[in-house]
Copies of this chain bind each other. A is one copy, B any other.
Amino acid sequence: MSRPLTSTPKADGFRMPGEFESHGGCWMLWPERPDNWRLGAKPAQHAFTAVATAIAEGEPMTMGVSPAQYQNALAMLPPHIRVVEMTHDDSWIRDCGPTFVINGAGDLRAVDWEFNAWGGLDGGLYFPWDQDALVARKVAQMERVDWYAAPLVLEGGSIHVDGEGTLLTTEECLLNPNRNPLMTKADIEEMLGDYLNIEKTIWLDKGVFNDETSGHIDNIACFIRPGVVALTWTDDKSDPQYEISKDAYERLTAATDARGRKLEVHKIHQPTPVLITREESEGVDVVQGSQPRTEGERLAASYINFYIGNGVIVMARFDDPQDEPARQKLAELFPDRKIIAVPGREILLGGGNIHCITQQQPLGRK
């Protein structure tokens, strides 16, 4: 049975678990569009394959693939990764996919948010986005779980939760007039309460500098576990990221969570700024209405955009001196998980990173 429900997760006793809780699996969408991924997406497909393979060490992995790419994906991916047909406009299933919720009995359901490609016709990243908008219910149908259609434009990358009533987000994204212009901050907090069972929202101001998602939280800060947060950082006061991270640090250390706890905040230094090269720019089709990939543009690189899987942390590496300190820090923060660092640049060139291209499915009864 998989049907749209008209109640809310909160009313039905469902909550969004933290990413660090046990998973039943993980979903990704295969990259393809040549106006976003250079060289016909071949380098990105190799990068996605590495991410999927790493995550599959700990949980069942499913790759959603367009009809045109089905055979190629089946050939490129290892045989223990499930390949299913799933048309999409681009590969950011963190943002267009479902947010799964569970109840005390371990039943699984999905939340299907409204999706407008990070800003619709007022700053969105491509047009149209009609196939992305169907991904959440396609996943729910395939898994035979019921879903809630939430009347809120929201991308999964704009929220992080501790699974105990607290949500982290940014004002830059959730209060952006190109998402839900008629809703106040209080209205949005009420929706997060209804659909994720959130009691306390902690608002940062902005996301990572030049992040085209309008500052998604999942690139700047995340929960390691309840009460513990990681934050991207730089000590370079001339870097535009400095003031953003400083403000975030002040807000996080001043905040209390839904249980009244103060937060422990861990800084992870960002990599050296990553700029698009001419060769990289020239590998991308120019299409009006799609986000351009211009030579010299700074990419929103951060080590925060990792995936917490069963038994593993899958993080990006950039062949940068900060790679190893970041890896060590994550190893300290997640002592029971294997840290797998995969090349992140080709994903970053498309506008996001590992967390953005993945969506966990909590362990639950379908």
Contacts and interface: CB of A to CB of B under 8 A. Distances in A.
Interface of A: 1-3, 60, 67, 70-71, 74, 79-80, 82-87, 131, 134, 137-138, 141-142, 144
B134 A70 contact: yes
A84 B135 CA distance: 11
Contacts of A87: 67, 85
Contacts of A141: 74, 82-84
Contact of A74 (B71, B84, B131, B137): B137
B79 A131 contact: no
Query: How many chain copies does the complex carry?
Result: 2
Given A2-B82, A79-B1, A70 B138 contact: yes
Given A74-B141, A137-B74, A138-B85, A1 B80 contact: yes
Contacts of A131: 67
Contacts of A142: 82, 84, 142
Given A84-B141, A85-B87, 16 more contacts: A1-B80, A2-B79, A2-B82, A3-B80, A60-B144, A67-B67, A70-B134, A70-B138, A71-B134, A74-B137, A82-B141, A82-B142, A82-B144, A83-B141, A84-B138, A85-B86
Interface centre among A1, A80, A141, A144 (most CB of B within 10 A): A141
Contacts of A138: 70, 84-85
A259 B60 CA distance: 43
9 contacts: A1-B80, A67-B67, A70-B134, A70-B138, A71-B134, A82-B141, A84-B84, A85-B85, A85-B87
A79 B134 contact: no
Nearest to A144: B82
Contacts of A144: 60, 82
Nearest to A66: B67
A72 to B, nearest CB: 12
A71 B131 CA distance: 10
Contacts of A86: 85
A3 B80 CA distance: 8
Contacts of A71: 134
Contacts of A137: 74
A355 B8 CA distance: 41
Contacts of A67: 67, 87, 131
Contacts of A83: 141
A131 B82 CA distance: 19
Give me the 10 closest cross-chain CB pairs, A-B, nearest first.
Answer: A3-B79, A67-B87, A85-B85, A83-B141, A1-B80, A84-B142, A85-B86, A82-B141, A82-B144, A85-B138
A142 B3 CA distance: 20
